[in-house]
Amino acid sequence: MSTLARRDTRPEIALRSELHRRGLRYRVQVTVPGNRRSSTDEELHAAGWDVVRVWEHELPEHAGDLVEDAYRQRVPSRSPTDPGGGHPQG
Q: What is the pLDDT of residue 31?
A: 60
Q: How far apart are CA 38 and CA 53, in angstroms?
A: 12
Which DSSP symbol is given to 22?
T
Q: Which amino acid is at 40?
A: T
Distance between CA atoms of residues 34 and 5, nearest Å: 9
The model carries a pTM of 0.66
Query: What is the band of 59 on the pLDDT scale with cuts at 50, 70, 90?
Result: very high
Q: Look at residue 66 and tell me whether its pLDDT is greater than 90.
A: yes
Q: What angle do CA 80, 73, 33 make, to 5 degrees?
A: 120
Whole-angstrom Cα distance, residue 11 to residue 19? 12
| Highest-confidence segment of 5-14, 32-41, 47-56, 65-74 | 65-74
Average per-residue pLDDT for the chain? 77
pLDDT at position 89: 43
Q: Which of 68, 53, 51 is nearest to 16 (CA)?
A: 68
Contact between 54 and 63 (Cβ < 8 Å): yes
